[in-house]
Structure 1
Amino acid sequence: MTDQTIQEGKTLAIVSYFTLIGTLIAFFMNNEKRNQFTAFHTRQALGLWLLEMILGFVVSGFDNWMITYSFWIFIAVLFLYAIFGAITGKLYSVPLLGDFFQKLFKNIGQ
C-alpha cells in the first residue's frame, strides 16, 4: 500500500471509529474510490461496534459495577488502539479479534 493511498484514506478511516454512523458514512463514501486503507479500518470499526453492542447487552444483565467497568475499559482500549493505527497510517489489527473482523467483513471495500 502506497503512502498516497494511506493519505487519501486516512480521514475516512478515522471517521469510521466515531459512532456507528461514522462507520456507515466511511463505508458509503469509500464505495466510489475503493481505498484499501479506509476499507481495512471500516471493517475494524464495524467489528468493534458490533462487539460493543453484543457484549454490552450481555454485560448489562450482570448488574455488577466491576464487570461493567472492566467491559468499558476493554472496549475503550481496543478503540484507542485502532484509532491510533488510523491516525498514524498503519494497518494495526485489533488484538484478539482484528483478523476475525477482516475475514468476517471481507466484502466491505472490495
Structure 2
Amino acid sequence: MDNKTLSIVSYITFIGWIIAYFVGKDKADDFLKYHLKQSLGLVIFSFIWVIILNILISVTGIGMLSILGLVNFILMIIGIINAANGVKKPLPIIGKMFEDKFAFIN
C-alpha cells in the first residue's frame, strides 16, 4: 500500500490506525506521519468524548444527547477526505492539539 492509502486507512477505527502504523513504519513520509498523528488524536478524543457523553446522559436523563456521538464520525470523514485529497490539514476543533504530539511517530 502507498502512503496515501495508509493515511486513509489510519482513520478507520483504532485497528485501521494500527495497520497503517505497522505497514507504513519503514516507508513513512511526512504526509503519512501527519495523518497518523491526527487519527491517533481522533481515537483518543473519541474515547474521552464517549465517556463525557455517557456521563451527561446519565446525569441529565436526556437521551437525545447521544446524537452528539456523531461528532466522532464527522471528524473521521473529514480526516479521510483530507487524506484522499493529499492535503495536510488539521481536523476541525481538535486537530491543532495533536500536530506536535506523539513523538514516537517521527
- Whether the 8 Å contact between 1:16 and 1:41 is mirrored in structure 2 is yes
> How much has 1:62 moved relative to structure 2?
2.3
Cα distance between partner residues in 1 of 2:26 and 2:73? 31
2:49 matches 1:55: yes
Correspondence 1:1-110 to 2 at 5 A: 8-63=2-57, 64-70=62-68, 72-108=69-105, 110=106
- Who is 1:4 aligned against? none
- Who is 1:5 aligned against? none
> How much has 1:19 moved relative to structure 2?
1.1
Structure 1 runs of 4+ off > 4 angstroms? none
Q: State the number of aligned residues.
A: 102
Cα distance between partner residues in 1 of 2:32 and 2:40? 12
Q: When the two structures are superposed, what TM-score results if normalisation uses the length of structure 1? A: 0.83
> How much has 1:107 moved relative to structure 2?
3.3
Instruction: Indicate the RMSD between aligned Cα atoms, in angstroms.
Output: 1.7
> How much has 1:26 moved relative to structure 2?
0.8
Identical positions, percent: 31
TM-superposition CA deviations, 1:75-106 (whole Å, max 9, x none): 22211111100111111100122121111224
Structure 2 residue runs without a partner (length 5+)? none
